[in-house]
Amino acid sequence: MDQPFFPDLATCNPLEILLLVMLLVYLPFAVYQLYLMDYCLYMTDKKIKERKQRLETPNNVIVAITTNGMACDIVEKIIIRIKKYDVASEIYVVKEERDRFVYSCKEITVPADYVCPNGSLCKMRAMHYGIQALHEMGYGK
């Protein structure tokens, strides 16, 4: 006598039936998730690499860190971390005149008597001066 592939549902444990239904419902989603993972991890990177050629002369990244001099050690840690990246970058620290700490990068010091045209104070004042100084050095538009 041949046994049927599926046992009689009346004699099965209700928990087994529930697990079987959950498995059958989730199976299409699992297959689709595997497809998406494969596509995102492998196919997109290949297509991007084929489309984009490396620049012969890489663009420079300019990092301007504005500080009021209250957390010099944290600013120095940020500078060290940025230097570890494999990116052609120039790092500037825009600091107040009262900040006597010497950073391990180029510094732009805001004069104590500098006044913003729009009346900004504190870090925004220093950032405005830093942007103007970078423009004078030939960066930006």
List of residues 6+ apart from 110 with CB closer than 8 A: 94, 95, 96, 97, 125, 126, 129, 130
Decide: 93 and 65 in contact? Cβ < 8 Å.
Answer: yes
71 and 127 fall within a common domain? yes
pLDDT digits (tens, 9 = 90+) for 69-95: 888 899 999 999 988 887 778 899 999
Residue 141 lies in a domain: no
Q: What is the pTM of this model?
A: 0.56
Q: Establish if 3 belongs to a structural domain.
A: yes
Q: Which residues span the domain enclosing 116?
A: 61-136
Please tell me whether residues 77 and 48 are part of one structural domain.
no
Instruction: Report how many domains make up the chain.
Output: 2
CB-CB contact of 90 with 106 (8 Å):
yes
Whether 65 has a pLDDT exceeding 70, the answer reads yes
Query: Taking 90 as the threshold, does the pLDDT of residue 61 lie above it?
Result: no
Residue 18, in any domain of the structure:
yes
